[in-house]
Structure 1
Amino acid sequence: MLAKFRSRKYLQRILLSLIVFVVVVLCVFALTLYWKMKSTTLHIQTEANRKVLAQVKYNVEYMDEILKNLMMSLYFDNEVIPILYGKTFSYENIAIKLAKLDKVADSSTYLHSIILYNNYTNTYLSTNRKFQDNLNGEIGRFEEQLDNQQKLQKMKLVPIKISQDPLTAVDFFSYVMYGNQEQATKKQSKLILNVKPEWLFNNIKVINDLAYDKSSSVLLMDGQGLLYTNENRSANFLPTDVSERIQASHADFESFTYGKGKDKSIVTVMSLGVYHWKAVSIQSYDYALSELKSIRNMLIISTLLFFLLSAVIAYVISKRLYRPVEMMLMQLRGTLPEAKQTKGKDEWSYLSDAYASIIDKANIAELHHSRNRQIVEGFHIRNLLTKSGSLTKDKFLHLLSEHDLAIEPEGPFIIGVCKIDDFDLRMLQVSPNEQKLYRFALGNIAEEMLAPWCKLIWIEMGDNHFVFLASLLDKESFALPSFEASIEEMQQVIHRYYQLSTTISIVSPFDNYMKMAEAYSEAQELMMYRMLLGHSTLITSDRVKVNERHEDIQQAACIEKQIIEHLRRGSSEGLTSNFHHFFAYAATLTYTQFMHSVLHMTVTVTKTISEMNENRSRPIAIDLRHFYQEVLEQETVGGIEALFHSLITQLSSETNQGENEKTEILCHTMKEIIAENSNDPDFSLQNIAQLLKMSSAYIGRVFKQGTGMAVTEYINKIRLSNALELLEAQNMTINEVMERVGYRSQSYFFKLFKAQYGTTPKDYRLRKVIMAERI
């Protein structure tokens, strides 16, 4: 059973997901609950500290009020004033008055003593006889501590220590009253009430004993930043930064923590409102949260128990969720080939592979069926375009309905032929998939842009021979100029999106389906006029009517005679002018007449050059057979004329002693252009010819003569060299390298690379990596 469970990886993932979810929820809940309880406990503790410190504040304010009242009553007492400001001094005169002051000090539980200082007689009188007698210099230390005050303020407690006991922090707090505020730092007559420190510290001690554990205490901080404990000791156990923070705080109440681990404490500070004193509570953090420990332990145990229970429930739920998957696995077992039943995959991976396998088989079957149907449909459409005259009306209607052809049987009809300009060169630069995309795009764009005018069937009759058969939607509203404008716009869209130049020929609309074969033949004949009208044109019967005239044989013979004479004399200017006039004349002929004239001129020129070579000691190095073949391969009259002009240039170069130098300069320039633009996938010989404003045929021949290789071969050599550097030096994928150096087709790139270096780019990079690791 355990082995079966291990093989069910998806079940394991469901169970693990549920358990992880439960663990996360439980942990978040427990931590949130504990954090909330902890925050609440700290808040309650802080409020308790606030109440305790508020009691200390009340006691201090109450004592301050009593002292002020006592001070004012004594300072303005008629018996005290003579003692403070009398110019003469006699113990006999003031004995009774001092006795009254002794009674006042003895009757108060918080007074330590009363001191009177007469500035005129420089005499101290005190109810404390030890201070009065000044046996151990108490008066000097007392004066020194008063003088240390930057500004001795009236009726403000000043901590005084005059004893020699190192453990005692304060002997008493002095409460001073004098006359002139501006002379507060000078010796002048003063009335001083000294307060017992025990009164205040005992109050704090009682609070500590009743409300806090032994690790907690309440302290007092005076205006100078000195801390005092409840035992009248200086508190120096707080870190300096904590003491500075307490002293610098201007808040009436503040609470914060300091320290780490067991030394962590809660500090609560309350301003007492008088003398810039502050009450400080220091409490152990662990003690404050000690009650939470049992709750935390109980929470952990409850979480663990609930987790175990949740794990059992999660297993039961996982089994139920897994049951549909298990049923699907039973149904699809054996669908995949054994080679694809890879171990280690989970159930969904297996089901996905099985589903993909089924879909692939279905798609292949559908594709096969669709392809067969397209082939049959194509066969019948070709028959319709070539043998429509032999079809009866019933057979024609049956053909449309059986193959669901999108044309109306009643017409009117219109037929057009489309060709991609420079098809062979263009298709050589792209992959087979991109070729399929181009073919699909032509039909799709045609159907979309001509939809307002007609219903359309688009078919490829052969390489670079596309035909559309359309039935017009409304004969009455159909306007041939507007229809032609839509076709020209279609040509522009194809060129804009796919950089394809197309030439299209169309025939005039016709009503009878039996004329389809005749119209198709007419469209093919019109397409031949691409030779005369050039690329990217729309050819109609109206546009070629001007060429339908008889050839002026006398003019052709005259031009031919002049060309032969200039050839023999080597006159480049005369040949250029003659060829220009000849092709201007030939362009006005019909296609058949034009081809006859051009071929006759080609034979005449090549024959003349051959005759000239027989009589020259240094024959002209021109491949006349290749020249004749190039003439036949041209698609436009401009291309043929450029060939003849290139021939003139070559003839001129052959007779020029500096021919080799020109060839080297041209080859060098072409190499620089290739090096600069080789990464452009669309870069070719035609682009170089456009930049140099020269014939592509001519510069191709010159480059081949100068370098021993064709331009396309040299471009591939540069691209492959760049690819080699990128494969060696940069962290790029092979597809990125291919696109960077100027290739679109991966299969074409791999084929050229292997032919050049004897290995694929992937194997070459792998070999370089292995060699680098060995080094």
Structure 2
Amino acid sequence: MKVFGFYKSKKYLQRVMFSIMAAMVVVLVASSVSNTYILEKSVKSIQEESNLKVLSQIQYNLSYMNDIITRLSSFVYRDHFLIPLMFNDDLPKMDLIRGHRQMSNIMESSSFLHSMVVYNKSQSKLYGTSSSLLLDDGATDQRIRSILLESEQPQPTNRLIPMSLEQNDGGIDTFAFIVTDSLKPFTNNQSAIILFIKSDWVFESLKKMNVASDRDQGEIYIQTQDGMLFSSDPNASLTNEQDQVRVKELVQTHKIEENHSAGFFIGTLAGEKEMLTYMDDGLGAWTILYIQSYDKLMGEVTKTRNQSLMLSGVFLLFAIGLSVGLSYKLYNPIEMMLKRIRPHLPDERQDGSSSKDELRLMSDNYMKLSDKLNEISSEQIVSKYYIRRFLSDSQLFSDHDMRHLIEKHELNISVKDQLLVCVMKIDNFADYDNSMTGASKKLYNFAIVNIAQEIMGKHFPCEAVEIRGDHVVLILSRSVSEPAMLFQQVKQLLREIQETIERYYNISLSCGISDIISQFSYLSSAYTQALRLSQYMIVKGRKAILTSEDIKGNLMNKQVSLPDVIDKKLTEALKKGQLTNAGNELEKAFSLIAGMQYDDMIRAVSNLAWVIKNAASEIHDNRIVTFSVDLDYIHQIAQEKETLEEMYLSLLSLCAKICEGQRPANMERNEMMLETVKELIEQKFADINLSQQSIAMSVKLSSAYIGKLFKENYKMSITEYINEVRLSHAQALLEQNNYTITEIMDKCGYANQSYFFRLFKGKVGSTPKEYRMKKSIS
């Protein structure tokens, strides 16, 4: 009862539990049903394929039998001993004897023949080998006449016709095969030979197939054109006229729908669900049927379905237990929250008897807390507003007003101790601003303010506020007799703040610390000083923590620009393409810039960038061959880079690009000329007359000059280079194995075979023939 009462009071737990249970039940049931459906469909597909294979084999057997009988009938019909029996009007006795003897010989030579009959149209008489035809007072004769000779419909020739010669119960004991001189349907107006085939011989393959298919509980039938069903099993079930008509209707309907001579479907016969597979015999006379009991065939599927349902039931019980445990585990955090909330709820709700569920109770409590937080947030907005006003316009407030506002809004600023202002500025703020969304920036700024205030607040009365999104300001209160000790302690705490924020948010901060102030009216000046100090990270690098003592030399430096001699020497070095000299002048310039005040630093770097840009523009305008330098980007370096080191490296990289394009004009001309020579050789290497003299004439220079120039640059003569190109092409042609060596010499510009062989062996180490043989083997 306690357990029931526990769950009864947990309305949300009940919903979770029942939802999980319902989901598991649906999944298990759906899985079981779908598996059974897929299994049943697979069994049907496999059974259809198997049945069609069986029927294909039977079709082949029947076609083979019909072929054997057709050959025999062709031989029998042309037998000269039997011809008199068929066509003579007045049959001599000796012809009759010879005819009977020949029929006896044929019967003895063919084990599948039951009997044979010769029909003489002129005499309207039957001559046969069967003793019953001779001794039963004409009963057999009359039966043959009524079925084959006097039937309402002409009988087909060269086809097996099921009939009974000796049975009166409708059973089949033989198959008639009528042979005439034409392929037209047989009537009693033409002579014929009738072969009677033993039914056992025809049904032999059916019996074997039935034995093989006993496991499927099926029966194989032959259906004639008039719908009659014949089987090798005398006890076959579908032998009455009503069933035969039903089978014929089903098969014909399915043939019309599928427009195919073979098929598979499920139908109802004699009140039972049956699986029917059919196939034409290939001769156009019969249809082979394979009929199986659907329930027996699907017995394993039904058994599997029942087992699946039983297993689903077992798993369902397990799922119910699992859902209870899982629901309670999911509910556990809610229960823990309720334990914390209940003491703050009204008395009537603490016992859990409320009509509301747990989430509704927590929602109500959340709304109350939210209202309180809004009140607190409003107060914080007002507090942050006054802190920002103190930092920007402290001189507008009287000391009395500031004390009153601090006490009224409970600001964590001491009204009697000395104050210190720290600015923490985000490094690489441009990249940070571009990569973050507005919501992310608010979240990060909130985190930085809280982390800074928490760490610093452990040691000093502290207020923190974010300004302009790129920096956070801390106002510290502390009475310390030794300022140096105070600065040292604050630096350690700021370093801890930097490491914490970088570890969690990968954000780097640079810090400036103002001088100690003793009056509230100096807060604006202290903030301006700290912000200004933080800018000197341009010299000290990122994550710098700076006080006025750290940049005392910069503040006292009165130099506001670089000496003109540096600009002049830098310009000359760039125009001459002397990167080393340009780098030295650039290094001198930045060593002087590092000692200036912040504004003078930015101005000096910008001026230096303009000097380099002007020099690059002048060089660019006076050169024939242009060089790739982004001149528009140069003057942006001072604004985009944060440290002097980055500015120096960017400007040095630009100087390197400028100097790289400042090679002498004659060097450019020589390189262009030598490239032209190499292109000529590549184009005309197949020309036997190609030489240093012909090339010199093409480029309008003396042979000695062009030869000397080529030798100095490539450490080989023009003739040697021509041979290198020719021999490289010769190697490639030898590897293709499409040309003779003489043809290759012509294509590569050689007329003398011994000269070609000597050069080739000197380059490769083997003759052309050996080279080709080695390449073909490898």
Instruction: Return the TM-score normalized by structure 2.
Output: 0.43
